[in-house]
Structure 1
């Protein structure tokens, strides 16, 4: 054998590049390759079927549609199972919901007859992703996969049975090193939440190493526990199925002292307003919102409610700390004035502003510049706002580049048919942005692809192409063709200059 193949690191690297179907053959070639090849083969499972399939076919049977053990597992069965399962680092099961998953049901039966502790099934498991229906076998499968080595859990179930809830409540004890967790229950309603919350709250309150959490409404008591998790950095709260925020809570909570990101999903803007009113302060570097609708039985306009909500944010948030602000969805609200968003000027250290939802709103060059003038540190700007009457032009875009000189990503709808005042030989009057790596102009109308390409090439000399996803005109494809040609000519000129200097 070549000396290089006696190096374990080299063998592990080779094994990681081998096709999965060839790994068993590689493992059988010699002892040096056996363990590294088997480690790669069993490291990531997208089903537990391989584990069940490596066991004797006569071990399981069926009784009225349910899996049953035909005989007690012997020592050889346990040796085979532990040899494979001990190598598993991640399990991902995202099949469609069914009445039962026969593979997880089979493993659950084995666990009941296991001569050692349930944690011995997957002693090195680090990540578990399970989309399931929450039956008894789900609870038993979770019990064998909730191990101390687990650091990431993504759980989505249609309902939680009386056997699943106790297992969830033991999560903090069984998985003390958990760092990232997502728990979602499809079609959850208030009655389910009332029954489930005590179990979820107990588990979450014990996860002192948790830094990323995505969960449904845990109620006011659960929120207070979340605020005590000092390691928590990213929190996503789905309040869309809860009615507890229909009214303002009577007691204020301390709030969050040190988050990197707070993501909030609510049915209405009023719910989000009540949520923030219930907190004394929110110190977070980033905040993201998703509203299903703009009002629920309210006579107030969408613009008025949004304006009131932004005023509450200004009062409750640490204005100096907030760096990222996103509206992922604004529901069916149709604001009429861009000036609504100028209250965000209080957050003077913004580096990212994202408003993804399309809104029917007028935005002139002056209004665009008025919006962004307070944020010279802005690196990411995405405005999904559009209107068929008034759109910013290239003049507004050039002024935007002057006000925000460090932009690296820009998404904006402009009127690219309006070229008045633009010098094609020097579009920005000497101003350009060499940092932009992503530019999306959406449904921006245009007439002359070559002129638009000339302007964009002058403003963004290192831009490779315009993102045309969602574009309403094939002319943007032609713009990208011209940009590619201009870039090639520029590179050839640079190469010629270098060669002449040599």
Structure 2
């Protein structure tokens, strides 16, 4: 099934899939039937869209075509079945932040048609719905600060009011071109953990470069890194990116990129496939310094090594077989590797041809793609050395070779102005055999002289070439190009895979018809770009092209719309483009008829040969024939050829150590209890009081002859007894004195003895205990409230009937008051 063209599908879908909505009410039944038939045809032609992979490939083709984004947007709005796939392809890559900012509601934008000017107020949570919905589709995004199409006030709003950490969660590629430190710091808003490709282009010196690079290295595991700067790399650049061991693509265009430390770091990348370096304005010494720390030891210094020159025995006349031994090592494959990055497949170098040649001599990788940006024009000797190095180092593996000029501004200036033929040609004869080269692209405006011999040499050197571009943008004003249409015959003869050719030719000279007719036509050549080629007879040129490329589908040249051209030649190639399809149709018809006639002629000849001829009737005779077979014995010695081959397989081992030490923090806690010393002065109030009791003594004369009544005796006895009970501490001398005056009284004497015994053994211990208790109560301040009453009672008890009155002092009264006598 043939795939429909990219321009056909959007037109069919936009004009026919929505015919019902645009159909007027007065449309006839016939127009409806015709529209429905067109709809069925469109659906029948779009059966390829049932395959998701084919649908994605088709949409990507539409996107790459002129006006592809507009067509893809219309396609997404037209067909619901492929809407999601079309939106994913359309939003997969953004070259600016403006489409993303335009997803905010219109009432938040300062100007609806220019969303990059900023927002009038911070967005609410519901205003982020469209941004987050389409942000999931974005895979690659770019930002250019110098373009000034996005206001700097938007980034603080995104940082403060975003509803989630990253508004582009599936972003994998980030391109950031800035001039200031603030602009460089804004990239952290979009640096998600899924970012694998980072392109940094810094035009000025920024202060936070080292911090941003450090955060980039710590947060992401990069597969591709491109760093371009006009200032030197940080001194610890290799230390910052020492964790990045999975780089596949690396581009360094900054001063300091050729240091030995960077070279050692580059050589340590095991997965590196693409390398881009800038060697402009560098000396050969600086280029050689890149390999100082990464050149492996050859091993030729030991006596036992195969390639060594030292035999271990001192001999001045010993011949040197080092070259022979090295050649043997190369043949057997045991030679030590020299160079850097043997796994490298693509290389892009910028600088002088001599520096590039010196750099590539150190490489031993199997390069498939080589992109060189050299001076225009290069020196002859330097170009010879460079071409020889390319063919010797990578001739058997190289597939794509591109040569362009260093200064792009100079290229544009040369292309837009009229100039004469360049002075120095670029000879392609220095290129030797390149069997696997399928694309050769040379764009050197100052070296555009290519002759027929150069094209013939390319046809022999590169038999599998598919795309050949030899300075198609060159412009000749006074002298015609050196390459002619006849010079293209070797390409159609020896390059069966050539399908794209871009050269500037001289079509004025007449071509020999016999040479063109004998040359085989190319069935693969489909696209031809002649640029500013000269033409004089358009019809004759069209005939020649119909012979060389009868299947040519696309013919391009420079017109007034895209470039300043010579009007005469532009009109001539327009006529060639008009004549060519008809001539191609005639040419193919003639060849088709010639092929059919040849087949018929061969068949007729075969039939004539096969017509049987009736022979005459033979004569019959009998004859005996000995049919004994002859047997011959023959032996064949079959010895197979044996070939011994040994393969040394040594796996590449990598020792990795992981230091897993938990983060330990020590803390000291002061657990000493808070102690507070307080002093309390508690001293009881002690007072010593001495009491001296001296009762007044009186003497009386007693008449012994007087009769003493018993009543008086008893009263006196009671009084004396009461007095003895009350005053237990009275001196015994008083009692003895009283008794001395009354010796004749026996009963009172005995009563006094008993009273004394009672006071000593009963009353006095009780008195002491009560006195101690009284002292304690007095210390605590608990004094009895009835001191006065007790003192009066004691005074009354101490008075005797005989007129003896004991009046104790107040101090004595205080001490004996609680006793309760």
Using the size of structure 1 for normalisation, the TM-score is 0.71
In structure 2, the residue matched to 1:184 is 228
- Once the two structures are superposed, the pairs formed by residues 26-425 of structure 1 within 5 Å of their partners are 46-47=96-97, 50=101, 53=104, 88-94=138-144, 96-97=146-147, 101-103=151-153, 105-107=155-157, 109-110=159-160, 120-139=166-185, 141-159=186-204, 161-176=206-221, 178-185=222-229, 188=230, 192-195=231-234, 198-199=236-237, 202-203=240-241, 206=244, 208=246, 210-217=247-254, 218-220=257-259, 221-240=261-280, 243=282, 247-250=286-289, 251-252=291-292, 253=294, 254-266=339-351, 268-277=352-361, 279-292=362-375, 302-315=379-392, 317-329=393-405, 336=424, 340-359=427-446, 363-384=450-471, 388=479, 391-423=482-514
Q: Deviations over 1:231-268 (max 9, x none)?
A: 3333333344x6465644244543232333212122x2
Change in 2 beyond 3 A, CA 1:394/1:52: closer
Pairwise CA distance, 1:168: 2.2
Pairwise CA distance, 1:449: 0.4
Bigger RCO of structures 1 and 2 (CA < 8 A, at least 6 apart):
1
Cα distance in structure 1, aligned partners of 2:143 and 2:461: 47
Change in 2 beyond 3 A, CA 1:219/1:362: closer
Pairwise CA distance, 1:334: 6.4
Q: Is the 8 A contact 1:256 1:284 kept in 2?
A: no
Cα distance in structure 2, aligned partners of 1:154 and 1:379: 32
Q: Give unpaired runs (5+ residues) of structure 1.
A: 1-8, 28-33, 59-66, 296-301, 498-502
Q: Deviations over 1:62-87 (max 9, x none)?
A: xxxxx99999x998789998677556
Cα distance in structure 1, aligned partners of 2:91 and 2:236: 36
Pairwise CA distance, 1:433: 0.5
Using the size of structure 2 for normalisation, the TM-score is 0.46
Pairwise CA distance, 1:47: 1.5
Pairwise CA distance, 1:369: 1.7
Indicate the RMSD between aligned Cα atoms, in angstroms: 4.8
Pairwise CA distance, 1:287: 0.9
Pairwise CA distance, 1:151: 3.4
Pairwise CA distance, 1:492: 8.6
Q: Which has the higher strand share?
A: 1
Cα distance in structure 2, aligned partners of 1:36 and 1:414: 45
Secondary structure of 2:360's aligned partner: helix
Q: Is the 8 A contact 2:272 2:341 kept in 1?
A: no
Secondary structure of 1:341's aligned partner: coil
Cα distance in structure 2, aligned partners of 1:397 and 1:464: 17
Q: Deviations over 1:414-452 (max 9, x none)?
A: 3322224224xx824150101112212233322110010
Change in 2 beyond 3 A, CA 1:108/1:480: same
In structure 2, the residue matched to 1:427 is 516
Cα distance in structure 2, aligned partners of 1:294 and 1:164: 37
Pairwise CA distance, 1:37: 11
Q: Is the 8 A contact 1:91 1:129 kept in 2?
A: yes
Number of equivalent positions: 447
Cα distance in structure 1, aligned partners of 2:138 and 2:449: 55
Secondary structure of 1:171's aligned partner: helix
Pairwise CA distance, 1:372: 3.4
Q: Is the 8 A contact 1:262 1:286 kept in 2?
A: yes
Change in 2 beyond 3 A, CA 1:100/1:18: closer
Cα distance in structure 2, aligned partners of 1:41 and 1:307: 47
Pairwise CA distance, 1:175: 2.4
Secondary structure of 2:344's aligned partner: strand
